[in-house]
Chain A
Amino acid sequence: MLLDVKGLQAWYGESHILHGVDFDVCEGEVVTLLGRNGAGKTTTLKSIMGMIGKRTGSVVFDGHQTIGLTSDRIAHLGLAICPEERGIFSSLNVLENLMLPPQVRPGGLPVEQIFDLFPNLKERINSQGTKLSGGEQQMLAIGRILRTGARLLMLDEPTEGLAPVIIQQIGRTIARLKQQGFTILLVEQNFRFASTVADRFYVMEHGRVIDAFATADLAANMDKLHDYLGV
């Protein structure tokens, strides 16, 4: 097991957001957290990355307990995040954005391979990062964490607000990354998209994981899922 989360609780200031989250991710899997707005999916990713002030419980990554570590130390264990707001830096150009995250371990993708995945980026290396289109910014946000040697990539709603053709490209990218041995933890509202790339699903509600199933059992669980997500 690459990532094992047990009883994870987290707070934003005074408000208690996560009330004991339990789930795990195995090496080489693509796992998706589903749930309505405000269920605690983004907070779960940020808590795993150490970006939330107060958290308790247990988050074991690759045999290391990370609950007491700061986010820069956690990054060096081989975790990386692609945040929901994408986090492209406006004072950096595309190349600088791409090269910004330091290498944390050996085995990251060479830059040529990233340009191979996202040819648009190569054409625009000298543009200001935030001058890119939404889709290109998303590619840049994913591309820059592929270089670092991180083994577990956490992608927070990578398809949000993007055109169908871009969503397909991101889907193909996730499939290719999985082939190359990356482990991916995905947060998605777009259930249709998630079902095409994920091996397993966890459903979150009110800061807890309330259900789990494999993609193979999806059809049998459709009614329940509609209920959970309110679609």
Chain B
Amino acid sequence: MFNISTQALFAQLLVGLINGSFYALLSLGLAVIFGMLNIINFAHGAVYMMGAFCAYFLLNVFDINYWVALILAPLLIGGLGMALERTMLQRLAGLDHLYGLLLTFGLALIIQGVFQNYFGSSGLPYAIPQQLTGGQNLGFMFLPNYRAWVVVFSLTVCLATWFAIEKTKLGAYLRAATENPALVRAFGVNVPRMITLTYGFGVGLAALAGVLSAPINQVRPLMGADLIIVVFAVVVIGGMGSIMGSIVTGFALGILEGLTKYFYPEASNTVVFVIMALVLMVKPNGLFGRA
């Protein structure tokens, strides 16, 4: 009896860690984009979905495997994001947040609508890459290899991004341009190009999360729309624009959601939002946000 219940507990913890990985990757991209562009990127869920579809097409049309898709899909979708930034988002510079929010929300609806039109609402299967099938019996639980890979890889990407932004010269440009873009430009840095690349990078992270998720959650046009609401709650809890904040909060809330599924399943869909409300009451700038 006890044995079965610890197994269930660890199973839910693992589900929480997996979801936390996606929350962290997505909210990290949102944080980077918000810091640099001052845009609340509502298209993030659609981009995540396109990342998964990109991997699906690469495999089924071009016979390109998962490992290559893991690199290629973020690059392709990131490139698409940069084109979007150059042609549309750039025109919103200096305007109220609301315009960026409306534009990206509209784009998300259009993109999801088009995909739904061609692929319906049911999921397309994407096989786990051969090298990662099977799993480990840890004694207290069974750990599927692919899921372990997703958690470890996401954490690595998140920490590498944090390091690049907080500890390198390129990151110093990024942080400085977030504070005072006009002055950084007057020092000779091509800030508009940096903004385009930043958007491409944030969007690329979402696409990467999409590829990682394809073998676990299947590939569906609305896979991002379902997820993004929780991700925005994560961003609000962590603090808009904070890099480490979005990583820690992403994983922590994923785990918390998993634990709630075990201890009180009825609350598992709402626990994140309850925490969001509590955090907003005590710290309106979020746990890691700067005033």
Using Cβ atoms and an 8 Å threshold, which residues of chain B touch A75?
185-188
B169 at the interface (CB under 8 A from A): yes
- Which B residues are in CB contact (< 8 Å) with A83? 183
- Smallest CB–CB gap between A45 and chain B, Å? 10
Residues of B close to A104: CB separation below 8 A: 188
Q: How far is the CB of B90 from chain A (nearest CB, A)?
A: 14
Nearest neighbor of B166 in chain A, beta-carbon distance: A91
Contacting pair B180 A72 (CB below 8 A): no
Which parts of A96-112 form the interface with B (CB within 8 Å)?
96, 99-102, 104
CA distance A83 to B190 in the complex (A): 19
- Shortest Cβ gap from A62 to chain B (Å): 15
Q: How many residues of A contact B (CB 8 A)?
A: 25
With A99-B169, A100-B172, A100-B173: A87-B183 Cβ-Cβ less than 8 Å: yes
Instruction: Find chain B residues with CB under 8 A from A76 CB.
Output: 188
Q: Is the CB of A91 within 8 A of B187?
A: no
CB proximity of A49 to chain B, nearest CB, Å = 5
Q: Does A89 contact B (CB under 8 A)?
A: yes
User: B-side binding surface: helix, strand, loop or mixed?
Assistant: helix
Assess whether B188 is in contact with A102, with CB atoms less than 8 Å apart. Answer: yes
Interface residues of B in 60-116 (CB under 8 A from A): none
Residues from chain B with Cβ under 8 Å of A158 in the complex: none
Cross-chain contact of B187 among A70, A90, A92, A102 (Cβ < 8 A): A102
Please, how many angstroms separate the alpha-carbon atoms of A52 and B180 in the complex? 14
Please tell me if the beta carbons of A91 and B175 are within 8 angstroms of each other in the complex. yes
Total interface residues on B, CB under 8 Å, equals 18
A66 at the interface (CB under 8 A from B): no
Question: What secondary structure prevails in chain A residues at the interface with B?
Answer: loop
What separation, in Å, do the CA atoms of A81 and B186 have in the docked complex? 8
User: Are B188 and A99 in contact, with the CB atoms below 8 A?
Assistant: no
With A72-B191, A99-B169 known as contacts, the answer to whether A89 contacts B186 (CB < 8 A) is: no
Q: How far is the CB of A157 from chain B (nearest CB, A)?
A: 16
Nearest neighbor of A80 in chain B, beta-carbon distance: B187
A91–B188 touching, CB < 8 Å: no
Q: Is B176 an interface residue (CB 8 A)?
A: yes
In residues 42-76 of chain A, which contact B (Cβ within 8 Å)?
Answer: 49-51, 70-72, 74-76
Q: A135-149: which have CB < 8 Å to B?
A: 145, 148
Is B260 part of the binding interface, using a Cβ–Cβ cutoff of 8 Å?
Answer: no
Contact A87 B180 (CB under 8 A): yes
Contact of B185 among A72, A92, A100 (CB under 8 A): A72
Q: Are B169 and A71 in contact (CB under 8 A)?
A: no
Most B CB contacts (10 A, CB to CB) among A49, A91, A101 go to A91
Contact B179 A72, beta carbon cutoff 8 Å: no
- A126 CB → nearest B CB, Å: 13
- Report yes or no: A91 in contact with B179, Cβ–Cβ below 8 A: yes
Q: Provide the residues of chain A in CB contact with B169, threshold 8 Å.
A: 99
Residue pair A92, B183 in contact (C-beta under 8 Å): no
Q: How many angstroms between the C-alpha atoms of A161 and B172 in the bound complex? A: 28
Report, nearest first, the 7 A-B pairs whose CB atoms are least far apart.
A75-B188, A101-B187, A91-B175, A71-B186, A87-B183, A89-B176, A96-B172
